[in-house]
Amino acid sequence: MKNSVRRAHGFTLVELLVVIAIIGVLVGLLLPAVQAAREAARRMSCSNNVKQIGLAVHNYHSAYGKLPMTMGGTFEAGANSGGTAPVGSNNRRRLSWLVGILPFLEQQALWQQISNPNRYNAAGALLGGNESWNAMGPAPWTTQYGPWMTDIKAFRCPSDPGFGAPALGRTNYGGCLGDSTDWTTNGAFTFGNGSWNSAGSRVSSCRGVFVARQFTAFRDILDGTSNTIMAGEMQTSLGDRAKTTNLARNPPGGWSSLHTNPSACEQANFLDPTRPQFWCGGGGTGCTTPDLAGGNQMRGYRWADGGLLYTGITTIRPPNSELCTAGGDSSSGTMSPSSHHQGGVHCLMSDGAVRFITDSIESGNQQSPVVNNSMSPPCLPAGSASPFGLWGALGTRASHEVLEGDF
């Protein structure tokens, strides 16, 4: 009888290396598809956030017969001019439109903290003595006030990785204030001295669904709610020099230059030619370093602040264009929507629909003067059609423009 010999079967080294190589190739092929699927899911979640905000605004309008005000709130001339101390605290008429819709986004608990006197600081500790923040809180840049430091999930796009200091609570969504570079932040009321602005300059420039320090309603949207942008996305700063999140100030020629040419910051050679999505940072790159805002004066860094930089958009420069003003963080200027989604941004139409608008939307003459009664001429007179094409027309509520083209 012959003895049978059993041999152990296994992979040779060459076979093992081939298998590993095949697995590596498959992972390399699948990884982009997985990443694309994840971004598609994040984009859908972002679109849902925009939809929920639209429903909240419509419910607010149903309850009060008007849209939430941006740059509204409390004001006390001469007392606590900064609005940041508990004693005499007031928010300097700087609250954003997002504050008013909190109860309609299942944020009743946070709304109760804001709308009533509050005796706690941002760390949850009692204030000294019998001090308390007054109802509607202090100025929205107050880091000691807990509600302003709160990140609200409904206000954040999952595709935006921005997080933490120096920001307060962040937002990725801003209300549309129209197609002009003048008066859109101050609107009906001047921040510093508490005086009302002249009707002529305010009405001619404030052409969006939201008007700073003034209530508007759906009845004011004469161009049709399905043809008028109410809000749009915006990126928040990642601590770099991105042109969509860092505000460039004071282009050559100041306000006169910006009002008569909204591309003033781009044409001032402020963008890095080797990295055109970023501002020039010096170092001999063949460009001019702009004056950039710093600290928490960045795009979307204060969800409670009604300033255009923080919770507003304009339809002047196309989506994902640079931010530019001739003043500070409280000033008007070109504040385009922006996003981390490929090719465009989500916009909320006034009828509640969510539309994805591409960066290549027809945007007219980007070197045209804006509509501005206080500088006319050379600016366009009150009542003019938007010079910024389909994009500008979508941002005005009552200019009687006939929309043509796909968006």
- Write down the pTM of the prediction: 0.88
User: Which three-class secondary structure state does DSSP give residue 176?
Assistant: strand
Rounded Cα distance between 354 and 126, Å, is: 43
Total Cβ atoms within 10 A of residue 265: 30
Contact 391, 229 (CB under 8 A): no
Distance set, CA 357 to CA 78, 161, 337 (Å): 44, 22, 10
The span from the CA of 106 to the CA of 119, in Å, is 23
Beta partners for residue 23, in sequence order: none
Using DSSP, state whether 179 is helix, strand or coil.
coil
CA distance 270 to 273: 9
Phi and psi, residue 399, nearest 5°: -100, 0
The per-residue pLDDT for 286 is 82
Q: How far is 95 from 107, CA to CA, in rounded Å?
A: 16
Share of the chain above pLDDT 70, in %: 89
Q: Report pLDDT digits (tens) over 210-223.
A: 999 889 999 999 99
| Residue 336 in tokens | 């385009």
30-68 tens-digit pLDDT = 777 666 667 778 889 999 999 999 999 999 999 999 999
> Which token pair is 360?
């290549």
In the predicted model, what is the mean pLDDT of the chain?
88
From the number of C-beta atoms within 10 Å of its C-beta (0-12, 13-18, 19+), residue 163 rates as: exposed
Q: How far apart are CA 36 and CA 264, in angstroms?
A: 36
Q: Does residue 156 carry a pLDDT above 90?
A: yes
By CB neighbour count within 10 A (0-12 exposed, 13-18 middle, 19+ buried), where does 28 fall?
Answer: exposed
Tens digits of residue pLDDT in 315-346: 999 999 999 999 888 888 999 999 999 999 99
Q: 40: which residues sit within 8 A by CB, 6+ positions away?
A: none
Q: Are 209 and 176 in contact (CB under 8 A)?
A: yes
Residue ranges of alpha helices (H) inside 65-138 are 97-100, 108-115
